Amino acid sequence: MNLKIYNTLTRKKEAFIPIKPDEIKLYVCGITPYDYAHLGHGRVYVIFDLLYRLLKFMGKQVKYVRNFTDIDDKLIKKAVEQFNDESRYQEIANQFIAAYLEDMAQLNCLNPDEQPKVTENIPEIIDFIQGLIDKGNAYIANGDVYYAVRSFSDYGKLSKRDIDDLQSVERVQLNELKEDPLDFALWKSTKEGTFWQAPWGWGRPGWHIECSALARKFLGDHIDIHAGGMDLIFPHHENEIAQSEGLLGPNFANYWMHNAFIQINKEKMSKSLGNFFTLRQIFEQYDPMVIRFYLLSQKYDNPLEFTFKDLQDAKKTYRRLCNVFAEVDCDHYGFSKLPVMGVRSSREAKTDSGTKDLIEYPLIQKLLEPLLDDLNTPKMLSVLHDNISLLQESPEELCAVKEFMTVVLGLPLELIPEEKVAITPEIAKLIKERENARTQKDWARADAIRDELAALGFDDKDTKIS
């Protein structure tokens, strides 16, 4: 059974063939820690946590690297707003890195093997920039350093954009220091004595160079999989390719994977649009495992239209699954009880009949097939639901599937206590408004109010209207 993934570089689904048969190098672009992580961040890192788990389950040695962009314009701006001192950006970064790690633990995401910070790897970034200057791919302009985009003939191969058409792209900004409007900053100059000193002057790294330098330091010159949100395809990942292949030669990353956005009313969920919910806000109303289940219920490369009604439905479905798997004592069948927030890298289970590979169970083979087909989680969950009745007739296989769901999906299927929602005056008012809307057969308004109630954690069950 072999993994297939959709490769953004080639725009087709391909069999995954690693550089070395049993060693996988995986790099996922991390956050800029200037605020709390939102649900869109949750989707990115749950999806690629699934990929990490699946590769390990298939017996691969995986080195997973995810960075922190802890020096950036947004961090500096926030430090000025909060402390009136740009040099205190690191305090902002450390605060939100800690919060992000707590959120990822809540979502049962495994820690990557390396989580480098940009600020702790400045010498490697400077060396990388110097290498590009020496090769003629970059130039110094009044203390800044720019990448000469037209020096790289393959520019645009990831995003499929024609370099001659890019002059009109919104992100291209005019700058009289540049030799070409398309060129992008590798190093931003600052006044003497601030940030870091490089051979060409004081300053700090541009956004794109960090991932090229960090991937090289922790994974080598060429990697298997580079991943992130689809908003990074251009310019960030396009620029990474130009930097890395400009210095190190072809095939920086063999496979590029990108998850689609979470949307609200057909618009991307993002801080810039102000239409986002932080993970912490949602955790106040929903168990983090419900959130993880919800994020895995849709295929990663399809847009996910977020509504609280859908989240409430996911909660019900996940609860039903937990109830099914709680009906049997897996310790009785020899399966070790895993901690809720934990995972074994091995897929071997010690049963009463001896050590058994989980993949030997027929249903687990059926569950694996869609996962290996470009992480098709909704199809996998459909297979699971279709076989629940049969599973309940085979307690040992039921326990094996629970182990598989814990190890690979990161879903421990532990019972979630049924919480009681207090009927506040706000909820009572909405319930009455919904009853009136349904009586008047104003179904659109009734549905909208139901979503508002779901957002408050209240499930308003329909009764028949005569």
- Domains with residue ranges and CATH for the chain: 4-259 (3.40.50.620), 279-409 (1.10.730), 420-466 (no CATH)
Average pLDDT, the chain: 89
Among 196-200, 246-250, 357-361, 420-424, the least confident range: 420-424
Average pLDDT over residues 348-370: 82
Confidence of residue 420 (pLDDT cuts 50, 70, 90): low
Residue 415 phi/psi, 5-degree rounding, is -55, 135
Q: CA 458: distance to chain centroid?
A: 29
What gap in Å lies between CA 380 and CA 367, rounded to an integer?
5
| Contact assessment for residue 36 and residue 95, using Cβ atoms and an 8 Å cutoff | no
The pLDDT score that the predictor gives to residue 7 is 98
Structural tokens at position 308: 């609280």
Structural tokens at position 138: 């970059």
C-alpha distances (whole Å) from 240 to each of 149, 205, 443 are 11, 14, 50
| Contact assessment for residue 26 and residue 62, using Cβ atoms and an 8 Å cutoff | yes
Each residue's pLDDT tens digit, 26-73 = 999 999 999 999 999 999 999 999 999 999 999 999 999 999 999 999
Structural tokens at position 41: 């961040």
Question: 3-state DSSP call for residue 258?
Answer: strand
Q: Is the pLDDT of residue 461 over 60?
A: no
Q: CA 215: distance to chain centroid?
A: 17
Confidence of residue 351 (pLDDT cuts 50, 70, 90): low
Average pLDDT over residues 16-33: 96
The pLDDT score that the predictor gives to residue 306 is 92
Among all chains, which residue has been given the structure tokens 């314009």? 73
What gap in Å lies between CA 344 and CA 110, rounded to an integer?
11
